Amino acid sequence: MRLGDRIYVAGHGGLVGGALVRALKAEGHTDIITRGSRELDLRDQAAVRALFEQERPQYVFLAAAKVGGIHANSTRPAEFLYDNMMIAANVIHAAHVTGVTKLLNLGSTCIYPRDAAQPLREDALLTGPLEDTNRAYAVAKIAAIELCDQYRAQYGSDFISAMPTNLYGPGDNFDLMGSHVLPALIRKMVDARETHSPTVSIWGSGTPLREFLHVDDLADACLFLMRHVSVPGPINVGTGQDLSIREVAEQIRAVVGYPGELAFDASKPDGTPRKITDVSRIHAMGWHHRISLEEGLSNTVAWYLAHRGQVRGEALVGAGSGTAGTALA
């Protein structure tokens, strides 16, 4: 992937797509193709095909998806299944038909079975039932992996798939009705600090263990995979390190400077006790994360404070993974 190559980032307005565009520009890439959801509905096969015929991208990052937390996934599963299957099928097929050199499909570690052994290994895929609350989304993401693999098997298409763990960072969704746990905690603590609220309520006991990856590290991993890796199947991208939600909340409180108490509501669901990825495969390939949680939280809080008048809600924007509000998947 050379500096003059034409690169299409599908979902550039989302958390992951935005980070990919930043990373590409930082490296000197200038021929970056983007389309907002108002300009192009990726569920429309003819429109997607027309874009590829017109722009002729050589490399494609498929970071577009309908994303949301537990509430959105559990109350509108048909939308999450249909929209994400159509997005993936249209982009992957158009990439094949127009001779794209390479495509990177982004998914989520929610593709793995609900009761898979921890840490989550790539070979756990399709070995058991999925988590009910996001099964529709997970099935769509599994279908996208399979589609990439079968285009590779039948046509020799160089299509690969990366599965990031829970993501956070600049450009995240801070809407409390649809955000994941980390941005929701940031927003709640900022609000509580400014309104002098004595406590912040957090769903669950605080004991579940979760892994968090800064989105700029994911973007770095995507560029690495695009340049150096051509294999079928999912490739986990994460830190391989986890900590409890209580520990995460304490770190956020320190960064935000919130002086009040954290009230964990054990009557609310905790979700899976532990969720962490096995990243030995991508480590063996030569990639490791670089941004510590402390550093990542600091720049994410700073970004939120600077942009909170423009925080986005749920939309057809970009791939992500995690949990709804302050509930856990």
| Helix/strand/coil percentages in the chain, nearest 5 | 45, 15, 40
- Was 108 annotated as part of a binding site? yes
Instruction: Write the DSSP string, 68-79.
Output: --HHHHHH-HHH
- Was 180 annotated as part of a binding site? yes
The residue type found at 281 is R
CA nearest neighbour of 304 among 219, 210, 185, 196 = 185
- Was 30 annotated as part of a binding site? no
- Was 188 annotated as part of a binding site? yes
- Was 312 annotated as part of a binding site? no
Name, in order, each residue with C-beta under 8 angstroms of 264's C-beta and a sequence gap of 6 or more.
202, 203, 204, 205, 206, 246
Q: For tokens 């929701």, name the residue.
A: 184
β-pair type (261-265, 212-214): unpaired
- Was 15 annotated as part of a binding site? yes
CB-CB contact of 212 with 182 (8 Å)? yes
- Was 275 annotated as part of a binding site? no
- Was 248 annotated as part of a binding site? no
Q: Which one from 8, 59, 112, 137 is the annotated catalytic residue? A: 137
β-pair type (102-106, 159-164): parallel
- Was 270 annotated as part of a binding site? yes
Assess whether 304 carries a catalytic annotation: no
- Was 182 annotated as part of a binding site? no
Element (H, E) at 202: strand 199-203
- Was 203 annotated as part of a binding site? yes
- Was 141 annotated as part of a binding site? yes
CB neighbours of residue 177 within 10 Å: 14
Binding-site residues for NADP(+), in ranges, read: 11-17, 106-109, 141, 164-167, 180
Active site residues: 137
Binding-site residues for substrate, in ranges, read: 188, 203, 210, 270
Binding-site residues, in ranges, read: 11-17, 106-109, 141, 164-167, 180, 188, 203, 210, 270
